Amino acid sequence: MCPLMFLSEAGKNITPDKLHVAERSALNRICDASFCEIVKLLGSSVIVGVGKYACGRARSALQEHGVGYVHVMDIMHPSPANPQANKAWREIVLKQLGDLGLMMYLQPSHPVA
């Protein structure tokens, strides 16, 4: 739940599961607390995790910090390792957001001139 990105010396993305456990745990503690504080400050009632990992982290953080009024949902992550995402990620996610009843929040309230 952290807006950080980790890269190897060669520029390859390092996903959280590839971090050492101690590093990941320390990072999760800090990011989880920050995430929950932002959720409280914004009064968010819905969180959309991009991917199962983000969704799971959001649920864990919210539960650990006693933020129980938030509904956590997920949409597919656009990972290059996911064959489905490589084919039609945009269309799949738009359908998922529609199925979750969230598209009305993503549409402009007034037509753009």
Q: Is 14 helix (H, G, I), strand (E, B) or coil?
A: coil
Q: What is the pLDDT of residues 39-67, one digit of tens each?
A: 999 999 999 999 998 999 999 999 999 99
Q: What is the pLDDT of residues 74-99, one digit of tens each?
A: 999 988 778 888 888 999 999 999 99
Give the residues across from 75 on adjacent strands.
50
pLDDT of amino acid 2: 60
Rounded to whole angstroms, the Cα distance separating 89 from 76 reads: 8
pLDDT of amino acid 71: 95
Cβ–Cβ under 8 Å, residues 33 and 1:
no
Find the mean pLDDT for residues 21-36. 93
Q: What is the model's pTM?
A: 0.81
Q: Mean pLDDT for the chain?
A: 89
More confident residue, 8 or 110: 8
